[in-house]
Structure 1
């Protein structure tokens, strides 16, 4: 029986308030309105950003309205489309996007940025274009994290925040291209512009950091130093292309001094994939004078970074990146193609696969450092 135009009742992991575990609830997902797409989510990655917004609000993360369905790294199949949608049809395999690409605004028309602002203010606050969410529970509106909410079996997103992918794509793998892998990989290729024969340091070897390591290797870097306080991650980092790894806790002096000494002056490119302002400064100071580049990839919203101005005056570049610099709608299908053609790794990021009702276990694995990416099957 067709569900088009009807409210769909399904399961979702609802955050009723910050700092508390998610609760599996029956939710109602309304039909898509104009220029919206309703998606049956089949798989979603569990990203550190999801955990951080739940448990670190006020500690570098701005507050979001609750109740809230988290999740922004999903993949699924189009169930139905709203009026005015011409580029998607029921049955299409898609990846919802927390970063839109409308193709019409000044930023979309510029090759200099991927930061489309279509519906940005609304989706940051968990609602769609009309100021409301399409998800409700127990008669109460439930907000959609970044306008996505992939921790729900169904969700509705703007048609500028979704991209169609090839029919044979394994959704439980390509979902990772909705955030973490694309972000780290693009940070090296698009923002860092890593060059053949160069040296790099990647600070933080979670999923984003490992993707950055992979990007450095693909770009032709000959020396890639992985930096993390968890030595259990070193073997995996080398699998992705790290040539050596260093643990800051094993040294009595600042890690930037260690990296500068290791490289006789500093690396050509450093990528910070932690979201710590202390690590951001260390990454900058680990780069080579005159042309070193530091890319801030790790996410934090309210903290201030301290920089010694002289470090910049001596020719270093400090820059940030969002979603790896990829123009989302057009780039994600190309990344899927690269994966399908064995030009990039995805399977190796997945360390655990769990059902939706174990979503809190996925968070525990993430926080303890025991997982790289847990994929939740919906």
Structure 2
């Protein structure tokens, strides 16, 4: 493309400091360096994690340096590639990944995990492998959230944090696979390995929880109980596979006791999709003795979960999942194929569509519980 090797001036939503709304700014995006790819971002969606790092950066989250460009759930087209890049070419449709897959390290070669750590410390710190960002504004370096930063019309990512997808996939739909839907769906299908005819409880019916419901249904679960304090989400949960929904506020007993009574002893699988330690414990205690499995998919970095040891000694298993257990580079194109083959739902998660200039409205919709996913059109 004619822009290859040149600095690109474009629009981005910049977070200048914690707790303040995003500001639409003119930014400069440098060309990719070795083993990097510059992407023209067409669509990005607003994840609750973006909201939390902006407005609750000191609450259960490790501090990220500001100013930064948030966003990590997106799809776009390769604009140019740096030296050493062999798997991508200009024009490729791609999904950037906050979890890399180098395909060479011990973790990538192991079937037991998806926790590749290629460029991990740098990406968590908001920079590329050389310790600098590719985005600047008003002469100042702008940090890249998780090494991705998709609230920008152009961004640069490591080539190990990017996956190529089929050219006929609608970018404004498959962008959801960059985080929330993949995480929830994988929590049930990949990490939890939910079994046919089993009973399940999903705690939290945001995008991750609804995707977990969808995963439980795809696995053939007989009973899927959706749990949320917002009853407005129950209809969507039923559409995606929940057999019943429960509002904890409607009961005087703790929700785990309600679930145990409803299922005559507890569910086989519980999936926690909120990110609060109390809810994590509730989810664990809602599972049956002997073989109950609780998967933690909700995100928190700095909080502590308190678990009565007896709950584990009686045969329950507690585990966590990151990005649903998917090996990002190789598995996300398969999920795109599932969507294109009508075996995976994405459209149902999209409740709003807004232009970049209204991205703060998308944050408000998400925080109020009025939206599941708002897709932002960058152009």
Q: TM-score scaled to structure 1, two decimals?
A: 1.00
**Displacement of 1:62 after TM fit?**
1.1
1:78 match:
78
- 1:1-378 aligned within 5 A: 2-378=2-378
**Displacement of 1:208 after TM fit?**
0.4
Per-residue CA deviations over 1:189-216 (Å, capped at 9, x if unaligned) read 1111100000000000000000000000
- Give me the whole-angstrom Cα distance separating, in 1, the residues matched to 2:289 and 2:53: 36
Per-residue CA deviations over 1:27-49 (Å, capped at 9, x if unaligned) read 00000000000000000010000
- Give me the whole-angstrom Cα distance separating, in 2, the residues matched to 1:313 and 1:190: 25
**Displacement of 1:363 after TM fit?**
0.2
Per-residue CA deviations over 1:59-92 (Å, capped at 9, x if unaligned) read 1011100000000001000000000001100000
**Displacement of 1:136 after TM fit?**
0.2
- Give me the whole-angstrom Cα distance separating, in 1, the residues matched to 2:277 and 2:357: 34
**Displacement of 1:56 after TM fit?**
0.7
SS at match of 2:283: helix
- Give me the whole-angstrom Cα distance separating, in 2, the residues matched to 1:364 and 1:350: 15
Per-residue CA deviations over 1:306-348 (Å, capped at 9, x if unaligned) read 1000000000000000000000000000000000000010000
Q: CA RMSD in A?
A: 0.5
Unaligned runs of 5+ in 1: none
**Displacement of 1:57 after TM fit?**
1.1
Per-residue CA deviations over 1:159-204 (Å, capped at 9, x if unaligned) read 0000000000100000000000000000001111100000000000
- Give me the whole-angstrom Cα distance separating, in 2, the residues matched to 1:125 and 1:263: 45
Unaligned runs of 5+ in 2: none
- Give me the whole-angstrom Cα distance separating, in 2, the residues matched to 1:83 and 1:202: 45
- Give me the whole-angstrom Cα distance separating, in 1, the residues matched to 2:301 and 2:65: 16
**Displacement of 1:359 after TM fit?**
0.4
Provide the aligned length of Structure 1 versus Structure 2: 378
Dislocated runs of 4+, deviation >6 Å: none
SS at match of 2:95: strand
Per-residue CA deviations over 1:98-128 (Å, capped at 9, x if unaligned) read 0000000000000000000000000001001
- Give me the whole-angstrom Cα distance separating, in 1, the residues matched to 2:125 and 2:250: 42
**Displacement of 1:285 after TM fit?**
0.1
- Give me the whole-angstrom Cα distance separating, in 1, the residues matched to 2:250 and 2:59: 27
SS at match of 1:25: strand
